[in-house]
Amino acid sequence: MSFSKTFTLFTLCGLALGATVAIGNAAPAKSKLPKTVYLFTSFRGNGDGLHLAYSKDGMKWGDTDEVSLLPTVGSKLMRDPHILRGPDGVFHLVWTTGWNDKGIGYSSSRDLKTWSPQQYLPVMENVAGTKNCWAPETFYDKRSKQYIITWSSDVAGKFPQTESTDRMNNRTYYVTTRDFKTFSSAQLLLDPGFDHIDTTIVEDKGRYIVVFKEGDRQAKGIFGPIHMAIAKSPFGPFTVSPTPLITQRAEGPTLVKVGGKTLLYVDFYANGKYGVYETTDWKSWRDVSTDSRVVQGQRHGTIFPVARQVAMPLIPVEPPPPALPGPNADPHIAVFGDTYYIYPTTDGTEGWAATSFSVWSSKDLVHWKNGGVILDLPRDLTWAKSRAWAPAIAHKGDKYYYYFCADTNIGVAVADRPEGPFHDALGKPLLARGAFRGQMIDPMVYVDDDGDAYLYFGQGHCYVVKLNPDMISFDAAQVKDITPPGYNEGAFLIKRKGAYYLMWSEFDTRDPRYSVAYATSKSPMGPFVKPANNPILKQKGAVKGAGHHSVVQIPGRDEWVIAYHRFIIPDGNGYNRETSLSPMRFDAEGNILPVDVFEQATLKGK
């Protein structure tokens, strides 16, 4: 095997609302940042690019909500990104560029926002038999005043005694550099006598500690543990601890010092989560995983501290708080008199297994009062006991009509007041499961200016039918399928300046892409035409799964508020959602403008 003494770096370059509705942008929590902030690099999928998360304490992490750098060199992947800030203040980024590349990626930055042209470092191109270069990291050696870049490679024939058909045969190699322009030849850094990857180095009280993962024998269901080794020099020789640090299936260890403790993060990649362990003496470790919160979906990254002023431009504005406390989804908002009401689905159970409905009321769209249970399925129905979903309210005459889902049927209940209590009007479903194609869920009733009422419903298909004057019956022969392109569920209708707007949700409610679109018509029965400016409500930053909405007009004004749910922030999903309110605007031609989920609707002067 021959190594060149040095090689030279080369580039492969690659509308303010009126007086009634106020908009309150959520303020970023940047003023609350400590002097030192921790950043956590990562990638998603097969290697999409550089992601950064931030933390005030090194334990609870928030996403910066963007891909900071897209890969352009090597095989054009970015996996295992590692960032080190050198003594000159420059941030040096290295990463895995591909599964079978013989080099690694490199870029630098002074602010973590603007990056130098990406470069491919051919660290193993001259080493015959090299199969890969994985998980590079950079360490600065204060003694020799040079950078040490490490990575793992499997070199055919290099360690024949440990060659196996069960796993690879990686060892840790390194090069040194002072300027990231010229580099030493590749040398062996660590040979513990077995295949290993993901080596990371820290200095601790004059000694040098490496933590690394032993290779897996996946076909046999044998997974390598996380090991530790110690040396007096960053170049070794390293003595491997006889007892592994972690024996569970994990990879990608990274270390960070927080206060007087060292934290070890490992990627439990098969389970889609991270484990966190702390030590003060490198002998005893405490599992603190339950105290930590890592951004969902992130893979193999490293942690490093930065000053507050460096972190501030990276941290996004925080979304406004939810309108209602706790898990509440599918909100139907309405106004009766001087009071606003929200009728939600009670969320927070796997499979959406709620059994009752509640109501919330407010005078200002900010302070909401829980009115308690207004319909309890086991108590108030004889034909359904669970899956209480997606209610809707309508008012006609002196009665309030409450349409709801129960066990994928649609029912209707009646009350004398919007607060209820409501009683089952029919003793059976208004629309039974299987009555039409798709699911019989997500009812919505629109009462037009002439008093005629229209029922919209369906998942997979969108249907409309004119209700009889009693509001609790209809002619099934008159049901019309008006399904627009992209429709999934959650139909809602409003009328503005003579035009009817049919709105609905696209994608599945468990999908972060869940969103709201619309179409218009001159009739509540359609046909509806979907314009190009869709969707008008969708995910943004920390706000995921924004959909299943309703809309209310501020009485006497051409001002509108949209209520919708989003995944609970943080760590929510399609079963754990919360209700939010934002202003909804129109342009001069009557098109609905994109809703900013970072704007919060309130009432002024209330």
Kindly list the catalytic residues: 330, 489
> At 493, which helix (H) or strand (E)?
strand 489-496
Phi, psi of 375 (to 5 degrees): -155, 120
Residue that has been written with the tokens 């990649």 in this structure = 269
Phi, psi of 478 (to 5 degrees): -95, 0
Residue that has been written with the tokens 């206060």 in this structure = 259
DSSP 91-122: EEEEEE--SS-SSEEEEEESSSSSBPPPEEE-
Secondary structure in 3-state letters for 288-348: CHHHCECCCCCECCCEEEEEHHHHHHHCCCCCCCCCCCCCEEEEEEEEECCEEEEEEEECC
Handedness of CA 361, 367, 371, 377 (dihedral sign): positive
Phi, psi of 195 (to 5 degrees): -60, 135
Non-local CB neighbours of 32 within 8 Å, separated by 6+ positions: 56
Distance of alpha carbon 316 from alpha carbon 600, whole angstroms: 16
Tell how many helices (H) and how many strands (E) occur in the chain: 2, 43
Distance of alpha carbon 127 from alpha carbon 358, whole angstroms: 69
Do strands 369-376 and 339-346 pair parallel, antiparallel, or not at all (unpaired)?
Answer: unpaired
Q: How is residue 442 written in tokens?
A: 């997500």
Alpha helices in 144-193 (DSSP H): none
Cα–Cα nearest to 254, from 101, 76, 84, 66: 84
Do 244 and 224 meet the contact criterion of CB atoms below 8 Å apart? no
